[in-house]
Structure 1
């Protein structure tokens, strides 16, 4: 047979093969589409499950946050109540009227609450939390931590002169060198800046403390200027004594004998301030440690 005679058969065979191939391709296409739908359904189920788990997790996280917020609020109120019951107001703490007279049990309770609160401080945005914690640290004489928490409070209430003053006291009492002395001076300056115009008593107190820090920093002209202005505005007996003591230091550091003796004379009968002078015979008053009249005046 010739190729020409076989052509109809070959054409028929090619058509059958083409139809078979097409049918196979269609079956594969259907299978692929079904497999894709199956995979999509599986992925949808997984996604639905994950969404449900995420929602449950967020709900649980919210409940945990609510519980911790409630617990944190209770800790803050416990500390506030304990401080209030012991009279540990800022006014009392900054002059040391509370901490030295606290019973050991009360002090331990305050310090225990402070430790618990410190473990949670990173999650707290409430400025009142930091204010109570600062007061708690002052009770424990942890001055630098008190200053840290006063600083957190002031990030929100930057115009509070009493808290600026309290932070200055914390830095003053830290006695960690020039850095804390400068920090104290700056805090007192902020307190002066934010004190109400008619609150002369607070302004005098802030200036007296800033003058004391300037004295520590050996900036004697500035120190005397602050102390003299504080003396002019002050009306508090205890603050008068503190100003006279610091002026005595300034005059001693300058070698001004007559002015020094005049300040010491004002301090007669003030056992605390006279004791402070004796404690600093090797520093502020070193130039007069061998002066007989000065020594008699301070009872040495």
Structure 2
């Protein structure tokens, strides 16, 4: 463009500017430009040759990639109102409510609406499948194991395996909480007894016994299994229904076993917690002595 000097005349300055700017009517071609302010409106970028890279705030567009320049930064696509997000042939329903009530939902396609949306899992012809919610591994002595039910399922299943007690003649028992585990019901006024049967074999005896109802209500906990000796191994499968419904009581059904070198026991029970609050947590424990070790898996069925 040349150098501007003190004393240059107006015509000299114009000549130098015209040399730097190739000019036609209504257009200007500038080989290098650095704009640090103002606005550029009503233009198309890349008309004659592609813009190879764009940096907009924290978003970089380069080739076929849109990426965030923030460390571990998200990339958000946010349509307006009830607008959807289209990715190729896929249309996603992006204005759905998302919260705790949608835990464990899955994406499904509805041909009538042409959209992919969140829906509750299960509900197919086979009745759905149990979903593993949590696994609790007990590797050292504890007084109890508290399990958060989590999500909102029609049926919960607790599978207890290799549970070992520190004392003889212990039973697997359970308590419930409706305040996310802050407190557990320990009263004896809220349990309606269905049936409990327990059978032992080997040196412990034989025959089928109906143990009655009072033991089930002791300390507000449900008797799940008969113990034999300390260090014997217990297992139980406990089905919980109605826990997610504040209008219904919660029912528990269990199938349990215990065994050691001298014999084994088998029991089943059915009992109802007759309060109509949503049960958020359960506590597994022995009425006396600690749990030495064991595994507790929680499953949910929608």
Q: Which has the higher helix share?
A: 1
Specify if TM > 0.5.
no
Compare relative contact order (CA 8 Å, sep 6+) and give the higher one, 1 or 2: 2
Bigger Rg, structure 1 or 2: 1
TM-score by length of 1: 0.26
TM-score by length of 2: 0.26
Q: Which has the higher strand share?
A: 2
